[in-house]
Amino acid sequence: MIKARGFTLLEVLVALAVVAVALAAGVRTLGQAADVSTALAERNLARWVAEDHVALLRARGVLPPVGVREGKASENGRAFAWTETAEDLPQSPFRRVQVQVHLDQPDANTTAQLVIFLLRNPG
């Protein structure tokens, strides 16, 4: 009598279980990579908003007033809100200007921050 060779049902089920676990881990990893990619894109856009704001400050050639100002901007179809905080540094000819940018949503965390120092009396 010739004995048939092949896999038993138990071996097939174990192999399927291993493949299922591996596929589930792969899907989860892809989901996390997509989340990280989205977060990096938002940070990049927020950084551009901050750099654009600073470029406008420099182009105007006028010091921003001491205090806090807020505004909104959009970049690549995304809405952002910015906060500009200007303060004179004690015993220094510079004004410190900090620009913080976050998504224009309630309770959004700061996504980008940029600090520059502008000369108060360039003459």
Superfamily holding 9-119 = GSPII I/J protein-like (3.30.1300.30)
Q: What is the pLDDT of residue 86?
A: 96
Q: What is the pLDDT of residue 8?
A: 84
CA–CA distance, 13 with 68 (Å, rounded to integer): 65
Q: What is the pLDDT of residue 35?
A: 72
Q: What is the pLDDT of residue 47?
A: 94
Closest-CA residue to 87 (of 115, 122, 49): 115
**Length of the chain in residues, anyone?**
123
For residue 16, CA distances in Å to 20, 29, 64, 110 come to: 6, 20, 66, 45
CA–CA distance, 45 with 104 (Å, rounded to integer): 13
Q: Is residue 45 within 8 Å of 80, Cβ to Cβ? A: yes
Q: What is the pLDDT of residue 102?
A: 92
Q: What is the pLDDT of residue 112?
A: 92
User: DSSP for 29-86?
Assistant: HHHHHHHHHHHHHHHHHHHHHHHHHHHHHHHHTSPPPSEEEEEEEEETTEEEEEEEEE
Task: Kindly give the confidence (pLDDT) of every residue in the chain, 123 residues in length, as a single tens digit, with 9 standing for 90 and above.
Answer: 666 677 788 888 888 999 999 888 888 888 777 777 888 888 999 999 999 999 999 998 889 999 999 999 999 888 999 999 999 999 999 999 999 999 988 888 888 999 999 988 765
CA–CA distance, 36 with 39 (Å, rounded to integer): 5
Q: Where are the domains of the chain?
A: 9-119
